[in-house]
Amino acid sequence: MTDDRSSGANTPNDLDLSTFTDDAALVARVRASYAALPAPDAAQIARCTTSVLAETMHAPARRFGGSRRPRWWWGAAAAAVLVVSISTVAVRRSGNVTGTPRPMQPVGLTTERGDTTRFDLTLPSMAREVALVGDFNGWDENATPMVRRPNDGAWSAQVTLPPGRHVYAFVVDGKKWLVDPLAPQVPDDGYGPANAVVVDGPQ
């Protein structure tokens, strides 16, 4: 796939697209990279299929326009799919696809903006209240209640943290302690796991 070739001297001009030709070496390199990437294995592909089917099992009305009543063999297929999906490596889902089911594990995010650090948390199930606790607020459940975002139901809190390492966790409905599974973990040392965040800046 090459564009028109233009003969003669070219004055370098960003807007002059007619002189632009595909760089053959670059094209080759990109294609080579595609080819060199190891193919996803059958297990990964199967995981995708079963996860999609399992997730849509919970929302039959949303599947597609038209027939809402599942066919008789859906039941058998659904049972098989559920068995497979439960026994497969746990699916981690991000909650950022609107209209789709909740994630299967908490999904957290820490973002720094200026001198504040924002903690976001998407939960697998409904919660009445979520508190952010950590060494910056004496692990006090009442100190930093999280606010539920209206657009996607995620919980959020902002704190001003000095640069350095801070250990934290989330408390759901005043009793259940959760960690962000993908954030750096502080391993269980007799209490249960917690998370660590390292805030940028001179220390």
Residues 148-167 that bind other proteins (CB under 8 A): 164-165, 167
How far, in Å, CA of 171 to CA of 131, rounded?
Answer: 5
In the DSSP assignment, the letter for residue 23 is -
**Residue pair 95/154 in contact by the 8 Å Cβ criterion:** yes
**Residue pair 143/159 in contact by the 8 Å Cβ criterion:** no
For the segment 34-73, give every residue that binds other proteins (CB under 8 A): 34-40, 43-46, 48-49, 51-53, 55-56, 62-67, 70-71, 73
- Kind and range of the H or E run holding 148: strand 147-148
Interface with other proteins includes 173 (CB under 8 A)? no
Ramachandran angles phi, psi of 120, nearest 5°: -115, 145
- Residue 154's nearest CA partner among 91, 115, 195, 97 is 97
Question: Judged by CB, which is closer to other proteins: 40, or 145?
Answer: 40
* Shortest distance, position 86 Cβ to other proteins, whole Å: 16
* Shortest distance, position 167 Cβ to other proteins, whole Å: 7
Q: Which of 13, 33, 125, 151 binds other proteins (CB under 8 A)?
A: 33
Which tokens belong to 165?
Answer: 């390492």
For the segment 100-129, give every residue that binds other proteins (CB under 8 A): 100, 109-112, 120
Interface with other proteins includes 20 (CB under 8 A)? yes
Question: Judged by CB, which is closer to other proteins: 107, or 127?
Answer: 107
Interface with other proteins includes 31 (CB under 8 A)? yes
* Shortest distance, position 192 Cβ to other proteins, whole Å: 7
Q: Say which residues have a Cβ less than 8 Å from residue 166's Cβ, sequence separation at least 6.
A: 134, 135, 136, 196, 197, 198, 199
Interface with other proteins includes 4 (CB under 8 A)? no
Interface with other proteins includes 184 (CB under 8 A)? yes
CA angle 93, 96, 102 (to 5 degrees): 50
Q: Which of 5, 9, 11, 17 binds other proteins (CB under 8 A)?
A: 17
